[in-house]
Amino acid sequence: MSCAPAPGPAGGKPPWLRIRLNTGPNYREVHRLIDGLRLHTVCQEARCPNIYECWDDRTATFMILGDICTRRCGFCAVATGRAGAVDLHVAEAVRHLGLKHAVITSVDRDDLADGGAEHFGAVVRVVRDLNPDCDVEILTPDFRGVARPLAAILPAGPAVFSHNIETVPRLYPTARIGSSFERSLDLLRAARVWRGGADRPILKSGIMVGLGEAIGELHAVFASIADTGVEILTIGQYLRPTVQHLPVQRYYPPEEFALLREAALRFGFRHVEAGPLVRSSYHARRYTDAARAVS
């Protein structure tokens, strides 16, 4: 495994990135439910390659605070511009689907004074009140320096608190415009300091590869994330949503993801999931159970 990425890919996606389309009855029911309740999902907005598998398994990652993001990250397919209305029916969808683990995320809302933190806390409370047997995992933005956003979120009792680092610091100016590597680390550190007692949330983060990072840079990021107290790390392949987004510099084969997983585990994470189609919320309940099983 070399210390620098290979030249840009040619000839399309490799065979290990092929997905199986499955639009059976479960998929169609989830689609109808989401449309009927006027909900937004990352599955759709971010063009996730796992949507057919997840929806057929009756799972989805719900996106609150509207479907318009106030930032323009070079890797992300979510629309940008003036943010719109929020949705209030996530708890109903969770109950209808019979979920035991619900993942809730959001766009960046830099137009709001608290970055949307109060709404995050409110949604978590409603979901938990209506679905007491369901674990709630939240995947938050960085809140762009808003004071004490976690005080509005963590008392609501999410089982998992997640914030993605996404890429190496060198690539932030092009891949994560408006974001800060250190600010993201500070948010994860704050979650570690805040949590306490038997009901503390598990901490989670994710990173993608294929944007032009070097292996040494990835290892340094693994160390930085582990130092914040994160217990679950996901590592997946960046896939270019459209020609307007950043190009893929390299497709990592499955065997290299296995090496990345081994390297990350050496930094002390409880669970590391790495693979071409791995995404932060993919098989989220399975990752959480695996982390809980590690003493």
CA angle 19, 270, 216 (to 5 degrees): 70
**What percent of the chain clears pLDDT 90, i.e. is strictly above it?**
39
Which domain covers residue 155, as residue numbers? 19-293
Q: Is the pLDDT of residue 32 over 90?
A: no
5-29: per-residue pLDDT in tens?
444 465 578 888 876 776 777 778 7
11 belongs to a structural domain: no
119 belongs to a structural domain: yes
- Using pLDDT thresholds of 50, 70 and 90, give the confidence band for residue 157: very high
Q: Is the pLDDT of residue 262 over 80?
A: yes
Number of domain units in the chain: 1
185 belongs to a structural domain: yes
> What whole-number distance in Å separates Cα of residue 63 and Cα of residue 41?
5
Other CB atoms within 10 Å distance of the CB of residue 98 = 10
61 belongs to a structural domain: yes
Q: In the chain, what is the straight-line distance between the N-terminal and C-terminal CA atoms, in Å?
A: 32
88 belongs to a structural domain: yes
Long-range contact list for 193-200, CB < 8 A, 24+ apart? 194/150, 194/151, 194/154, 195/154, 195/161, 199/157
pLDDT averaged over every residue in the chain: 82
Residues 6+ apart with CB under 8 A from 223: 267
pLDDT of residue 197: 54
| Paired residues of 59 in beta bridges | none
Domain harbouring 203, CATH code: 3.20.20.70
pLDDT of residue 188: 95
1 belongs to a structural domain: no
pTM above 0.85, yes or no: no
177 belongs to a structural domain: yes
> What whole-number distance in Å separates Cα of residue 208 and Cα of residue 83?
26
Residue 126: both structure tokens together: 């409603």
Give the residue, 89 or 240, on which the prediction is more confident.
Answer: 240
Q: Which residue is associated with the tokens 């296995």?
A: 258
Q: Is the pLDDT of residue 160 over 90?
A: yes
> What whole-number distance in Å separates Cα of residue 284 and Cα of residue 137?
8
User: From residue 113, how far is each of 63, 116, 217 by CA, in Å?
Assistant: 19, 8, 34
> What whole-number distance in Å separates Cα of residue 284 and Cα of residue 164?
14
pLDDT of residue 1: 37
105-123: per-residue pLDDT in tens?
887 777 788 888 888 898 8
56 belongs to a structural domain: yes
CB contact burial 14-53 (16+ within 10 A = b; e otherwise): eeeeeeeeeeeeebeebbebbeeeebbbbbbbbebbbbbb
Cβ atoms 172, 212 nearer than 8 A: no
- Please choose, from the candidates 279, 209, 238, 277, the residue with its C-alpha nearest in 3D space to the C-alpha of residue 17: 277
